[in-house]
Structure 1
């Protein structure tokens, strides 16, 4: 049972973009032609960033939290009892990268959760888990960490980079800090697991083999014209659905949201979502042209950009919304943004 007398706030966000921007021209020299649905799904951004050679998820997370520690001081980490991590491509076999990130941060949290699901909406999934822990335990604060690291490692492979899907992903990391306070309260969260679609986004290689088996052919996502059409249809539908569910409970019509922050698979989804929710483009910021599809990192990265750029004002109602994989998870969360302040006061 959630203790609703405990208010949990999104106290701050910070992010990290690795390396120099990689232009669309880099991939254009390798690309094959794509079909109509694939073209809509994989129309490339101008730029994206790639994880550096030897750069680990823990390295990326530490670089992402650095601006937050400058703002609030390293003592912020002393009260972190909850660490929720989603790494797109875990580099530590079996256990994920949460432990290495905790070690890099110099913390020993009571709650350390490595998410294996949630995908592009894992930011909200992590916030929901962290909020419930904070509301029902003596835990003092939480960090939700997203690390995206396949663009420079999977999609830049020689056998993959000629595919249309290769030019879309970007790498980066984003972090949210949650505190027990009323400064930027989380107003409501909606999460929906849709297990009937689980497993539809597959990893394939030619000739076929399991991802852990040795053999020729590099693994990539098994997109086909038909399953791309299904993903486009599901994504167009379920993201507005979860956003509307939250809007109804907080009594704010979708068209009156001050800011919509979503995952950013492609321009088609971005346009369709804001049109479905009757929002102008200026209230739906994204970092797609500079960063590509950041998967789970898109929301914290984009919101960090919005705050830093002055696109969000104190008191604004911000809606985070997105879906994962082929549509097996969708989530939305509303926050009344109170600005970047320390946990204890103004």
Structure 2
């Protein structure tokens, strides 16, 4: 099978950091879930500007890749995969506009709607399959997250516990058919029994497309949160352990683990389950909050630029999505841009 490498990653964070006081000082709705460990508040996060789109963020995130590899090389990618969380428009995905902005003419262009917070891993697996089985030779994988500034700053939602945790940002990855930084394996798990357990609600019962004043929010309950916590604690170590087993590695041999970052509880429980020291599990939670699908590429980019990822490191990426309907892990022998 053709070897596919994750050559480089880059990230973008919009605007100035927004302090926790933006939420904690707001006299809005009171929430009985305030003390739930799922909603421990990070000190900082970023919000998209009112006129900033997912395509804008992708365009800005890709700039470092253009600087490091050249505009012509990035423009020649054969595969473009884009995940937008939150889509800026119904009906139309962001991928075609990303291609237009960047001057791309990919043979494969897919707007990915599933896999949520673990969509970067899912798209790595998809890109690997396309590159290994077709004439395509390079891929650009993009995760844009704009739900924090769009949904959680609304007056009816801002006072809820769920509002202060998310942040906005974008992460991108560049893959080629080469041995430079081989993608060693991808493990995915689709758990259809949990599909639909994450819901979006409005207090007046309207569906999201129906007009009216009530703001959209995630339908969290105490019982639902307990289930998600139990699933998340199990799913991420499960897929990471399965992947490492297929590669003939113990989880303790992971040099750098990068996961999605819903909260500090998950981050601690995952590394404890995988028997990894905190310095082998970098995160950007305190400065970025929960970046949903963008968390893995943004955090990996930060870890690389800060010197945390050494040449030859075994890097494992892992996460789960929504209420547990997807989990995935990918392993890379890192020899990329430093």
Bin of the TM-score, shorter chain as denominator length = over 0.9
Which of 180, 183, 188 lines up with 2:185 in the alignment? Answer: 188
Answering whether residue 200 of structure 2 is matched by residue 229 of structure 1, we say no
| 2:24 aligned residue | 28
Say which SS state the counterpart of residue 258 (structure 2) adopts.
strand
| 1:91 aligned residue | 88
- Does structure 1 retain, via aligned residues, the 8 Å contact 2:4–2:131? yes
Which of 127, 136, 139 lines up with 1:139 in the alignment? Answer: 136
* Alpha-carbon distance in structure 2 between the residues aligned to 1:274 and 1:287: 15
Gaps of 5+ in 1: 342-346
Once the two structures are TM-superposed, the CA of residue 92 in structure 1 deviates from its matched residue by 2.3
* Alpha-carbon distance in structure 1 between the residues aligned to 2:319 and 2:270: 10
- Does structure 1 retain, via aligned residues, the 8 Å contact 2:312–2:335? yes
| 2:118 aligned residue | 121
Residue by residue over 1:188-230, the C-alpha shift from the partner in whole angstroms, topping out at 9 and shown as x without a partner, is 1100111111111111001001100001210000001110000
| 2:63 aligned residue | 66
- Does structure 2 retain, via aligned residues, the 8 Å contact 1:38–1:228? no
Once the two structures are TM-superposed, the CA of residue 33 in structure 1 deviates from its matched residue by 5.7
| 2:323 aligned residue | 326
- Does structure 2 retain, via aligned residues, the 8 Å contact 1:79–1:140? no
Which of 142, 152, 157 lines up with 1:155 in the alignment? Answer: 152
Residue by residue over 1:4-25, the C-alpha shift from the partner in whole angstroms, topping out at 9 and shown as x without a partner, is 1x10000000000000000001
| 2:175 aligned residue | 178
Once the two structures are TM-superposed, the CA of residue 255 in structure 1 deviates from its matched residue by 1.1
Once the two structures are TM-superposed, the CA of residue 252 in structure 1 deviates from its matched residue by 1.4
Answering whether residue 288 of structure 2 is matched by residue 291 of structure 1, we say yes
* Alpha-carbon distance in structure 1 between the residues aligned to 2:330 and 2:336: 17
* Alpha-carbon distance in structure 2 between the residues aligned to 1:75 and 1:55: 26
Say which SS state the counterpart of residue 243 (structure 2) adopts.
helix
| 1:168 aligned residue | 165
* Alpha-carbon distance in structure 2 between the residues aligned to 1:192 and 1:37: 31
**In angstroms, what is the RMSD of aligned CA positions?**
1.2
- Normalising by structure 1, what TM-score? 0.95
Residue by residue over 1:52-74, the C-alpha shift from the partner in whole angstroms, topping out at 9 and shown as x without a partner, is 11101111000001111111111
| 1:275 aligned residue | 272
- Does structure 2 retain, via aligned residues, the 8 Å contact 1:78–1:107? yes
Once the two structures are TM-superposed, the CA of residue 46 in structure 1 deviates from its matched residue by 0.5
* Alpha-carbon distance in structure 2 between the residues aligned to 1:255 and 1:136: 32
| 2:254 aligned residue | 257
Once the two structures are TM-superposed, the CA of residue 76 in structure 1 deviates from its matched residue by 1.9
* Alpha-carbon distance in structure 1 between the residues aligned to 2:90 and 2:244: 40
| 1:310 aligned residue | 307
- Does structure 1 retain, via aligned residues, the 8 Å contact 2:29–2:156? no
Say which SS state the counterpart of residue 80 (structure 1) adopts.
coil
Once the two structures are TM-superposed, the CA of residue 36 in structure 1 deviates from its matched residue by 6.4
**Residue 153 and residue 37 in structure 1: after superposition, are their counterparts in 2 closer, same or farther (change >3 A)?**
closer
* Alpha-carbon distance in structure 2 between the residues aligned to 1:117 and 1:76: 28
Answering whether residue 9 of structure 2 is matched by residue 13 of structure 1, we say yes
Answering whether residue 105 of structure 2 is matched by residue 108 of structure 1, we say yes
**Residue 33 and residue 212 in structure 1: after superposition, are their counterparts in 2 closer, same or farther (change >3 A)?**
closer
- Does structure 2 retain, via aligned residues, the 8 Å contact 1:313–1:339? no
**Residue 334 and residue 226 in structure 1: after superposition, are their counterparts in 2 closer, same or farther (change >3 A)?**
same
- Normalising by structure 2, what TM-score? 0.98
- Does structure 1 retain, via aligned residues, the 8 Å contact 2:75–2:102? no
